[in-house]
Amino acid sequence: MKQEQLKAQAAAKAVTFVADGMVLGLGTGSTTRYAVDMIGEKVKSGALKNIVGIPTSEATARQATAWGILLGDLADYPRIDLAIDGADEVSPALDVTKGWGGALVREKLVEMHAERLVIIVDSGKMVEKLGTRGPLPVEVTPFGWQVQARWLAEKLGCRVERRETDGEPFVTDNQNYILHCFFPGGIDDPHAVHRALAGRTGVVGHGLFLDMVTDVIVAAPSGIRHLRRA
């Protein structure tokens, strides 16, 4: 079964949790696009009513608006009933890494206010240790990014690369840069990395989403699994 089919299956399962009147956190990325389209189709047909979406990126906002999904923000809707998003990695503890799509700060800001955070992935995203499939994204201010890169390498023992597109710095919706941190053998202590990054001036956010996820929908050729945090 193709990966895109698995993504769509995971998204379809997550959308079954959406009910009339909900405030929804709308994630960003290739898997979540399926979920936003499915929600939009239900809103357009009248199968879902009184839905408010809180988008985690400008791209998601444009997609939702095209379907006629009413959008809001955290100022007016500080409590979110349900957020649906993808992930780059999912650990056995249901902690995840996110941010390869470049929207990690807005994703975390929205999803930390969600009563329920449902992550949708194909089975290839399941890992024994975070940081083994690819880099941990860290969003930093453009001012002083070189200093941050050196500090990250020295403090965390990782290899650091600035994310670029066609030779130019990738710029987030927040007008910041992203540094990709590659950990040989993965991240041994995600909480220690979180604490180090949380106290660093100029680091705007990072892609470790720890103790946040309530549900993970995993699509595999053998079927759908629904994992829940204990």
- Residues with catalytic roles: 107
Question: What are 126's strand-pairing partners?
Answer: 90
The region that residue 114 occupies, defined by phi over 0 for left and psi between -120 and 50 for alpha, beta otherwise, is beta
Q: Can you tell me whether residue 229 is helix, strand or coil?
A: coil
Q: Can you tell me whether residue 192 is helix, strand or coil?
A: helix
The encoded tokens of residue 89 equal 């990695």
Amino acid (one-letter) located at 133: R
CA gap 64, 149 in Å, rounded: 35
Q: What is the strand order of the sheet 223-228 is part of?
A: 70-71, 52-55, 23-26, 82-85, 117-122, 215-220, 223-228
- What's the start-to-end Cα distance of the chain, in Å? 30
CA gap 71, 36 in Å, rounded: 12
